Each structure stands twice: as structure tokens, then as C-alpha cells.
């Protein structure tokens, strides 16, 4: 089993470029119409507007740290993208890991570990799906960036930007389908399928694909999930045996887990959508958020204290700093008691109340 320890050590001998703070006379971000918005930035806006302001207006961000959850997905996408281009995915993965090693010099062991997990798991993934029936259809847009102009009900135009995993034509009856590849630590099939029609990232990709292919109906999402986990640890040295070698360790991971139970690691679902699903997401979620994003940007770039307002100012509530101690199960991906009611109108498991403060009575 190939590892990158030596290559990483070589990469670490290179000196990083000196930090040079930039000088800026205005906002770093030129707004949703000029620079546009991505899924990741939209999440930051929804999470906390003051921290979002520091990121996009002031240009202040935390020093990059190695995040296994994020970088496992990035490394996996490097493999997928280069396979689609008939490139050497192993070399591309190695080059990406080397770049991570240069950036995250104090976390070399973690980079090395997750690189080897992907290097071990991806071939099993390829072989697992190789003999399965191919139902994805004809690829009309390979993995790549999108940049579309989206018109809001107010007439404002926002640049929606990002990177999709592909769009596939499944025939006149089924229409075009967006391919989405996710890496997750825990996989709940029913919950994923139930929430997918209001998943911000997935539906954002569907809406932008609809913009890119306006003459074709969007049929649904080809949802491909890879489990991100390493359930074992290397055996430590004992009086009778030396420490387990890296080659033996990753071979054990492959044989005892990836090959032994591939269905637990690689899953695919076809989740159909109709025009009503897309319209509901636009009207109830995407459009209101983007309209508020425009209002917010106008407010914070007026040159005054963003927390102050003039009497009668219509924008006085568009900016705040998020407090600690607030829990939102939706942000964690969990279901709520209202999900079925929002989806179908069913009152099953719900009741009505007349007193909102029974604990104060």
C-alpha cells in the first residue's frame, strides 16, 4: 500500500510564503449580483450575519485547519473528477494531499491517514459499482463549475455559483437529473430521501441546472453517498509483536470492512422531483433568503454602524450577532415534528394549543 509520508516530508521542507496583509478601501465582496454567492457562503449568512460580515466585507477568516470531514470529501471529488477525465486519479490525489501537507504542517499525520483511507476505499467503490446496472443516463454536463444569473421576484439578479457533480439525460419521459456525490459519517436512508427536496445545497444545484437547461424538465437527483469513517485503529506493539505496519493496517481496513460489507459504505438513490417541488423550494426558501441577502448587503455597505438604525428604517432588523446556546436540529440534519405537515399537510402526531406559555401558568 502506497503512503505519502516521504512525499509529505519533502513538501514540508519548502518554506511557506510570508503573510502579507492586504489593503482595501471598500468591501471585499461586491455583493450577490457582482461577485455572486455560493452554497458555503450562503450557509455562513444563514448561521450568523455578523460573522458573515467579518468574512465577506472585512475579509477576515480563521487560519485554515485540517478538517477531515471536509477534506475527505474534497479528496474523493478529486478522484471522481479525474476518473471522468480519464486522468491518473492516484497521481491527482497524491498531488492534492501534498498541497494539504504544505498548508497543514502540524497535521501531517491526519492528512496522511485520510489520504490512505481514500486511496484504499476508492478502488473498492469503483469495483462495487462496475457490474451494477447503469441507470444514470447520458452525461450532458460533467463535474464542473456553474455560474448562472438568477432573477428574483423583485427583479434583482443574483449570481449563483458553485460546482456540480454532473447532469444526466434520462430520456424525454424522465428528463434531466442532477448527480450529487456526498460523503457522510452516518447514513439514514429514509431521512435523506425525505429531506432531499428541501436540502439547500442539492436544490440549489437543481435550480441552477434548470437555469442552464431551460428547455428540459428536471427529473430528480441521482444521490450517491459514500460512508466516511475509519472504525479501526492500528494495533500497538506488544511484547510479542511489533506495532502494526501501515500497509497491514489499511489492508485490514479494506478486507474487513470495505470488501466485507460494501453495501454499508456505498449507496445510491434516485430521488424524483416534479415542478411543484422545485417551485416550492424557490418560493418558500431560496427566493426569500436571497432577497434578504440583497437587503442585508445594502444595509452593511452604507458606511454606518451596522447595529444602529434610524427611526422608521425598514432595514433595522436585517443584521445581528448570533448568540450562544441556540440549538437548531435542522442545521444538524435531523427531522422535526413538523416535517410531515410541511410536506403533505398531515396532522399525524401533532395537536393544537391555546397556551404558548404553560410553564408560566
Which tens digits make up the pLDDT trace of 112-126? 999 999 999 999 999
- For residue 66, how many other CB atoms are within 10 A of its CB? 18
pLDDT interval class at 11 (50, 70, 90) = low
Instruction: Give the dihedral of Cα atoms 329, 334, 338, 342; nearest 10 deg.
Output: 110
SS3 103: helix
CB 293 within 8 A of CB 45: yes
Quote the pTM value. 0.84
Which tens digits make up the pLDDT trace of 21-68? 555 678 999 999 999 999 999 999 999 999 999 999 999 888 888 999
**Domain boundaries of the chain, sorted by first residue:** 5-133
Which tens digits make up the pLDDT trace of 223-237? 999 999 999 999 998
pLDDT interval class at 359 (50, 70, 90) = confident
pLDDT interval class at 357 (50, 70, 90) = confident
Note the pLDDT of residue 33. 97
Integer angstrom CA distances of residue 205 from 199, 200, 221, 228, 319 = 10, 9, 10, 23, 27
Using left for φ > 0, alpha for ψ between -120 and 50, and beta otherwise, residue 323 falls in beta
Which tens digits make up the pLDDT trace of 148-207? 999 999 999 999 999 999 999 998 889 999 999 999 988 777 777 777 888 999 999 999
- Which element (helix H / strand E) includes 91? helix 89-103
User: Rounded distance, CA 361 to CA 358, Å?
Assistant: 5
Report the candidate in 119, 192, 135 with the shortest Cα–Cα distance to residue 168. Answer: 135
Note the pLDDT of residue 16. 54
Note the pLDDT of residue 197. 83
**pLDDT surpassing 90 at residue 302:** no
Amino acid at each position: 500500500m502506497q503512503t505519502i509520508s516521504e512525499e509529505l516530508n519533502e513538501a514540508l521542507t519548502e518554506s511557506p510564503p510570508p503573510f502579507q496583509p492586504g489593503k482595501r478601501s471598500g468591501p471585499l465582496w461586491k455583493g450577490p449580483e457582482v461577485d455572486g454567492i455560493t452554497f458555503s457562503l450562503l450557509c455562513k449568512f444563514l448561521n450568523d450575519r455578523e460573522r458573515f460580515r467579518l468574512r465577506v466585507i472585512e475579509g477576515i477568516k480563521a487560519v485554515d485547519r485540517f478538517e477531515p470531514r471536509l477534506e475527505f470529501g474534497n479528496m474523493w471529488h478529486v478522484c471522481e473528477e479525474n476518473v471522468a477525465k480519464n486522468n491518473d486519479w492516484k497521481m491527482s490525489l497524491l498531488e492534492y494531499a501534498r498541497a494539504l501537507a504544505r498548508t497543514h504542517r502540524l497535521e501531517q499525520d491526519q492528512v496522511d491517514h485520510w489520504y490512505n483511507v481514500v486511496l484504499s476505499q476508492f478502488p473498492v467503490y469503483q469495483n462495487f459499482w462496475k457490474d451494477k446496472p447503469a441507470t444514470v443516463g447520458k452525461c450532458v454536463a460533467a463535474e464542473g463549475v456553474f455560474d448562472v444569473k438568477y432573477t428574483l421576484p423583485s427583479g434583482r439578479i443574483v449570481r449563483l455559483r458553485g460546482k456540480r457533480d454532473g447532469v444526466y439525460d434520462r430520456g424525454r419521459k424522465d428528463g434531466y437529473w442532477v448527480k450529487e456525490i456526498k460523503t457522510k459519517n452516518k447514513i439514514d436512508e429514509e431521512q435523506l430521501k425525505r429531506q432531499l427536496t428541501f436540502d439547500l445545497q442539492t436544490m440549489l444545484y437543481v435550480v441552477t441546472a434548470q437555469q442552464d437547461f431551460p428547455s428540459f424538465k428536471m427529473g430528480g437527483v441521482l444521490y450517491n453517498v459514500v460512508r466516511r469513517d475509519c472504525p479501526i485503529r492500528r494495533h500497538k506493539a506488544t511484547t510479542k509483536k511489533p506495532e502494526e505496519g501501515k500497509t497491514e493496517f489499511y489492508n485490514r481496513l479494506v478486507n474487513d470492512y470495505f470488501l466485507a460489507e460494501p453495501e454499508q459504505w456505498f449507496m445510491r438513490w434516485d430521488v424524483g422531483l416534479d415542478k411543484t417541488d422545485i417551485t416550492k423550494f424557490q418560493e418558500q426558501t431560496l427566493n426569500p433568503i436571497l432577497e434578504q441577502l440583497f437587503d442585508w448587503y445594502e444595509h452593511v455597505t452604507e458606511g454606518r454602524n451596522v447595529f444602529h438604525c434610524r427611526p422608521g428604517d425598514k432595514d433595522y432588523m436585517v443584521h445581528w450577532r448570533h448568540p450562544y446556546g441556540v440549538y437548531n436540529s435542522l442545521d444538524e440534519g435531523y427531522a422535526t415534528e413538523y416535517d410531515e405537515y410541511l410536506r403533505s399537510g398531515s396532522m399525524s402526531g401533532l395537536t393544537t394549543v391555546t397556551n404558548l406559555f404553560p410553564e408560566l401558568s
